């Protein structure tokens, strides 16, 4: 099958679940013999070792899109200016600041992109469609997320291919825009969604929410769980000597890092856990720096800075040594997420997880036996759940084995790719 996959490029400076999902899917599809064109938008694919090979030029360069939005006279640019604004060294600088801009500041630009060729990027849409028409026609066009639905009508008309759109964590971004752009964006996404053959959500929980948000029929949305490259045999990574809590997510308040540090400080005072350590990674953007500075000062004031390994530098995926010796992992976002790649990354390595009982987390951990869920309204819930694992080496081993087996069966990249091909096949029947 020939597939065109449109993805927002990534600077690789923080743990991006959508980026990781897309890269792993594309690599798995290619291994299974499918022809996948990866077309990056906004930024090049700075993805490190996890990145799928890009085989298309960059369109809608992030700087040129911003300039067109802010300066109406430059909405039609000469080719030399487009090449200049898409220069690799400029885009690398932009990539370093990805996610440092408040969503509320990008409401107008997001709405314009959702309007497709009728928005402020008409010239770039014309360039993109011209390039696509010169390529071999794809069977399926896979759009990475619903914020790219502005591409759907033009692509459907130009290529007459089935269009599939992934759904994962659009809701927090749009909600953060505030009025009037949140409502306007949902309205346009609903309209543009009519050109999509199938939507694919990362969890049943998020599928239900997005059916309501986008006024979709139950049959229009299917669930395909993301997958990771689980090792053939369970790694022997867990350890209670010393007991160590791991955190894998962007280092910011929304992902629950502050709550995890608070639990660490409480547990560290207990005699049985005086050797407790904390290891955290996932990237620090410019917007997060002051928050992480405050966390480090707090750890220093408590006299436990030496027991905390906070890794600010990050390149798309954690270093191999990050998982070694972890007893348990947690990224306790109180609002939850549409999925949780960090959860299955831990389970696939035999590391138990602890998460609040919200959003998609119960669905992922569920009956796996690979982790614990706690009530986020219970102030001691996270601390108690972590303690029950950290102080029981036999339980760590059992939970690790059960989580690994569950991840191998339900959250492998091979299963994800097979399920996606089945979905593409169904989409082709209704295109």
Q: With helix as H, strand as E and coil as C, how does the chain read? A: CEEEEEEEEECCCCCCHHHHHHHHHHHHHHHCCCEEEEEEEEEEECCHHHCCCCCCCCECCHHHHHHHHHCHHHCCCCHHHHHHHCCHHHHHHHHHCCCCCCHHHHHHHHHHHHCHHHCCCHHHHHHHHHHHHCCCCCCEEEECCHHHHHHHHHHHHHHCCEEEEEECCHHHHHHHHCCCHHHHHHHHHHHHHHHCCEEEECCHHHHHHHHHHCCCCHHHEEECCCCECCCCCCCCCCCECCEEEEEECCCCHHHCHHHHHHHHHHHHCCHHHCCCEEEEECCCCCCCHHHHHHHHHHHHHCCCHHHEEECCCCECECCHHHCCCCCEECCCCCCCCCCCHHHHHHHCCCCCEEEECCCCHHHHHCCCCCEEEECCCCCCHHHHHHHHHHCCHHHHHHHHHHHHHHHHHHCEHHHHHHHHHHHHHHHHHHC
Cis peptide before 180 (omega within 30 of 0): yes
Q: What's the confidence (pLDDT) of residue 100?
A: 47
Which tokens belong to 166? 């992934």
If we measure between CA atoms, which residue out of 1, 7, 58 comes closest to residue 29?
1
**Are 397 and 419 part of one and the same domain?**
no
Domain count, the chain: 2
58 lies in some domain: yes
Dist. CA 384–CA 376, nearest whole Å = 12
234 lies in some domain: no
125 lies in some domain: yes
**Are 267 and 386 part of one and the same domain?**
yes
232 lies in some domain: no
Domain that holds residue 187: 2-227+413-430
- Count Cβ atoms within 10 A of the Cβ of residue 258 and give its class: 0-12 exposed, 13-18 middle, 19 or more buried: middle
**Are 206 and 298 part of one and the same domain?**
no
**Are 189 and 309 part of one and the same domain?**
no
Q: What's the confidence (pLDDT) of residue 381?
A: 98
**Are 202 and 290 part of one and the same domain?**
no
Q: For the CA atoms of the chain, what is the radius of gyration?
A: 22
Dist. CA 103–CA 110, nearest whole Å = 9
**Are 147 and 296 part of one and the same domain?**
no
If we measure between CA atoms, which residue out of 267, 272, 337, 338 comes closest to residue 304?
267
Residues in the chain with pLDDT < 70? 11, 46-51, 96-104
Q: What's the confidence (pLDDT) of residue 213?
A: 96
Place of tokens 């948000």: 213
373 lies in some domain: yes
**Are 174 and 199 part of one and the same domain?**
yes
Strands 353-356 and 371-374: parallel
**Are 402 and 419 part of one and the same domain?**
no
**Are 248 and 278 part of one and the same domain?**
yes
Dist. CA 75–CA 426, nearest whole Å = 39
**Are 258 and 208 part of one and the same domain?**
no
Dist. CA 254–CA 270, nearest whole Å = 27
User: Contact 11/96 with Cβ under 8 angstroms?
Assistant: yes
């Amino acid at each position: 099958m020939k597939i065109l996959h449109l993805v927002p490029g990534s600077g690789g400076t923080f743990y991006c679940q959508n980026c990781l999902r897309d890269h792993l899917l594309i690599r798995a599809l290619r291994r299974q013999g499918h022809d996948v064109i990866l077309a990056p938008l906004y930024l090049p694919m700075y993805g490190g070792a996890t990145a799928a090979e890009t085989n298309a030029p960059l369109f809608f360069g992030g700087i040129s899109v911003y300039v067109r939005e802010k300066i109406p006279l430059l909405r039609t640019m000469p080719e030399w200016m487009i090449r200049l604004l898409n220069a690799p060294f400029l885009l690398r600088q932009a990539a370093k600041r990805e996610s440092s801009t408040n969503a509320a500041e990008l409401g107008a630009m997001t709405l314009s992109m959702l309007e497709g060729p009728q928005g402020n990027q008409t010239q770039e849409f014309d360039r993109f469609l011209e390039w696509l028409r010169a390529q071999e026609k794809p069977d399926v066009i896979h759009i990475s997320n619903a914020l790219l639905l502005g591409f759907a009508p033009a692509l459907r008309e130009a290529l007459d291919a089935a269009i599939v759109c992934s759904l994962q964590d659009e809701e927090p971004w749009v909600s953060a825009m505030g009025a009037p752009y949140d409502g306007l964006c949902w309205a346009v996404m609903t309209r543009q969604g009519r050109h999509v053959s199938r939507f694919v959500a990362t969890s049943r929980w998020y599928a239900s929410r997005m059916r309501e948000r986008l006024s979709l029929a139950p049959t229009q949305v299917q669930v395909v769980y993301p997958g990771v490259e689980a090792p053939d045999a369970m790694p022997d990574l867990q350890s209670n000597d010393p007991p160590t809590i791991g955190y894998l997510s962007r280092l910011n308040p929304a992902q629950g890092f502050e709550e995890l540090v608070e639990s660490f400080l409480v547990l560290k005072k207990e005699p049985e856990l005086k050797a407790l350590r904390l290891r955290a990674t996932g990237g620090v953007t410019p917007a997060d720096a002051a928050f992480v500075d405050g966390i480090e000062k707090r750890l220093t004031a408590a006299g436990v800075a030496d027991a905390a390994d906070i890794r600010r530098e990050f390149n798309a995926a954690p270093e191999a040594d990050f998982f070694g010796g972890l007893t348990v992992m947690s990224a306790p976002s109180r609002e939850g997420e549409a999925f949780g790649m960090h959860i299955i990354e831990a389970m696939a390595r035999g590391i138990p997880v602890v998460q609040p009982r919200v959003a998609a987390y119960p669905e992922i951990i569920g009956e796996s036996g690979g982790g614990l869920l706690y009530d986020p309204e219970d102030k001691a819930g996270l601390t108690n759940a972590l303690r029950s694992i950290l102080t029981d080496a036999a339980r760590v081993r059992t939970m690790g084995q059960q989580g690994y087996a569950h991840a191998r069966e339900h959250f492998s990249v091979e299963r994800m790719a097979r399920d996606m091909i089945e979905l593409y096949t169904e989409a082709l029947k209704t295109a």
